[in-house]
Structure 1
Amino acid sequence: MSVFDDLVGQERAAAVLARAASAAAEAVAGGRGAGMTHAWLFTGPPGSGRSTAARAFAAALMCPDRGCGHCDLCHQVAIGSHPDLESVRPQGLSYSVKQTRELILRAAGAPTLGRWRVVLFEDADRTTEAAANALLKAIEEPPPRTVWLLCSPAPDDMVTTIRSRCRLVTLVTPSAAAVANVLATRDSVPPALADFAARAAQGDIERARRLALDEEARRRREAVLSIPVSLSGVGECISAAERLVKTAEEEAAAATAELNESETAELRKAYGEGSSGKGLNKGLVRGGAGALKELEDRQKSRATRIKRDTLDVALLELVAFYRDVLAVQFGAGVVLANEDRRADIDDLARTTTAERSLRRIDAIMQCRERLAANVNPQIAVEAMTLDLRP
Structure 2
Amino acid sequence: MSVWDAIVGQKPVVDMLRGLAEGDPSALAQSWLVCGPPGSGRSNVARAFAAALECPRHGCGECPTCRHILAGTYPDVTVLATDRVTIGIDQVRELIATSEQMPASGPWRVIVIEDVDRMLERTTNVLLKEIEEPAERTIWLLCAPSAQDVLPTIRSRCRIVNLAVPSAGAVAAFLTASCGADPKVARRAARLAEGHIGVARLYATDERVMTDRDELVTGVLGLARASDAVLLADRLIANANGQAAAEVERRVASEEADFRRINGLGEKDRIPPSLRGAFNAIGKKDEIRRRTTRRSRDVLDRALNSVASVYRDVAVLQNGAEDAVGLVNLENRTAVTELSVRLDRQGAIRRMEAVAEARCRLFGNGNPALVFEALFCALIP
2:76, 2:106 within 8 Å by CA — same for their partners in 1?
Answer: no
Aligned pair in 2 of structure 1 residues 178, 260: CA closer, same or farther (>3 Å)?
closer
- Which of 363, 373, 376 aligns to 1:372? It is 363
Counterparts in 2 of 1:1-390, with a 5 A limit? Answer: 2-23=2-23, 26-27=24-25, 33-34=26-27, 36-256=28-248, 300-332=289-321, 333=323, 334-390=325-381
Change (3 A) 1:114 1:351: closer
232-241 vs 303-312, which moves further: 303-312
Given that 1:93 and 1:304 are in contact with CA atoms closer than 8 Å, whether structure 2 keeps it comes out as no
CA contact (8 A) 1:59 1:73 kept: yes
**Separation in 2, partners of 1:329, 1:45:** 26
Q: Is the 8 A contact 2:221 2:336 kept in 1?
A: no
1:92–1:303: 8 Å Cα contact kept in structure 2?
no
Report the CA distance shift for 1:109/1:372 in structure 2 as closer, same or farther (over 3 A). Answer: same
Displacement of 1:260 in angstroms is 7.1
Say if 1:328 and 1:349, in contact at 8 Å, map to a contact too: yes
TM-score, scaled to structure 2: 0.87
8 Å Cα contact 2:171-2:190 kept in structure 1: yes
Q: Is 1:90–1:126's contact at 8 Å kept on the other side of the alignment?
A: no
Q: Once superposed, what is the RMSD of the aligned Cα atoms? A: 2.6
Structure 1 unmatched ranges of 5 or more? 28-32, 267-273, 277-284, 286-291
Separation of aligned partners in 2, 1:235 and 1:349: 23
CA offsets per residue over residues 21-68 of structure 1, 9 Å max, x none? 123xx33xxxxx22x111111111111110111111001001111112
- Count of aligned positions: 360
What amino acid is the match of 2:292? A
Distance in 1 (alpha carbons) for counterparts of 2:153 and 2:186: 42
- Structure 1 residue 75 displacement after superposition: 1.4
**Alpha-carbon separation, structure 1, partners of 2:127 and 2:215:** 42
Shift in Å, 1:350? 2.5
Find the aligned partners of 2:289 and 2:230 in 1 and give their Cα distance: 26
| Cα shift at 1:185 | 2.8
How far residue 159 of structure 1 moved from its aligned partner, in angstroms, is 1.2
* Cα distance in 2, alignment partners of residues 296 and 137 from structure 1: 38
> Residues of 1 paired with 2:203 and 2:247: CA distance?
18
1:227 partner SS: helix
Normalization by structure 1: what TM-score?
0.85
